[in-house]
Amino acid sequence: MGLGRRLLDAAGLLRAGHNTAGFHLADASPGLQTKVRGIIMKRTALALIALMMAGNASAEGVRRVWVEGHRGSRGTHPENTIPAFEEALRAGVDVLEFDLGVTKDNIVVVSHDPYVSPVICLGPGGKKLASPVAIRSLTLKELKEYDCGSLKNPRFPEQTPVPGTRVPTLDEVLSYVKASNHPAAARVRFNIETKLSPGEPELAPAPAEFARLVSSVLKKHGVERRTVVQSFDYRTLLEMKKIAPAVKTAQLTADNLLDPDSVVRGSRADIWSPYFKWINGDIVKKAQKSGIQVVPWTLNSEEEWDRAVSYGVDGIITDYPAKLIDHLKKKKLR
């Protein structure tokens, strides 16, 4: 045992029957005082370094909670449009989250619903739509005649209309991001959802074809390693694993699952994206111990954001990315 250990191990001195309470450094010889002060300074410095390292480790842990702009920034701009993605990039998101459909002429486009919705879009010539129109029934040229920026979504009072905004293609979105001057654009990742249902096969290509069409666009832009393909329908996830192994996949779920691991393992997904109401810290930790990242949807309040962070989720999907990022900064979590 060195001098420092012998001098500073008060518990050991007490066990040996020595009284440590009355000892003062001033009572020691000058040489011993110098040695003791040196030891104390050295140990204090080491302790401070350890604290700083722990702080950095904590900061690293915080940075793994990434922010995904849901449909770009649906709370403030027309969903799944270039203006929404521009706002998300301006806010500094880590991930652009959006949805995919396919036109009659097999062009991959960005739309949440398999229909052009009368709630958020106007028909050709600016006319109101009497009913939804299936995207799969339209060519890209026909789809581009619809205005999906003039109507304000009534669910989002802060949303700013952008008249004349058209449904973009996946190719157009990736090209826009590549050309963007926003600092976030060079590093932003993509979380894209294939929208299809076994009960409505006429609204989308078959899973293998859907995956092929998406993969070809991703490869064209060289963003496979920056992309996650997510879906409630596991079939496209399995197909993506076959043809584009560099692309990660995410299993979306809406139900309260007793054993989420088995569902995610069945689709061979890398990420689990559950409905936020059905998770807690224990479920999140269990999934992560199995090597599965957890990214819940869709969280729009400070209370939800704080709960998600306390659960230890890997990412948060929100309609208000700028607000979430500001909130995390105020909490010194970003």
- For 206-244, write each residue's pLDDT tens digit: 999 999 999 999 999 999 999 999 999 999 999 999 999
- Residue 320: exposure state from Cβ atoms within 10 A (0-12, 13-18, ≥19): buried
Confidence of residue 282 (pLDDT cuts 50, 70, 90): very high
Predicted pLDDT of residue 64: 66
Amino acid of residue 41: M
Which CATH number characterizes residue 207's domain? 3.20.20.190
- What is the pLDDT averaged over residues 22-41? 46
Mean of pLDDT over the chain: 87
Q: Tokens 């370094």 sit at which residue? A: 49
Q: Are residues 173 and 263 in the same domain?
A: yes
Assigned domain for 313 exists: yes
Q: Output b/e per residue, 101-127; b: 16+ Cβ within 10 A.
A: bbbeeebbbbbbbbbbbeebbbeeeee
Buried b (16+ CB within 10 A) or exposed e, 264-292: beebebbbbbbebeebeeebbeebeeeeb
Mean pLDDT of the region 87-98: 99
Residue from 45, 95, 36, 88 nearest 65 by CA? 95
Q: What is the mean pLDDT of residues 156-176?
A: 99
Name the residue range of residue 24's domain. 3-60
Same domain, 34 and 84: no
Domain presence at residue 309: yes
> What DSSP character marks residue 232?
S
Residues above pLDDT 90, as percent of the chain = 78
Lowest mean per-residue pLDDT among 55-59, 131-135, 330-334: 55-59
Decide: helix, strand or coil at residue 170: helix
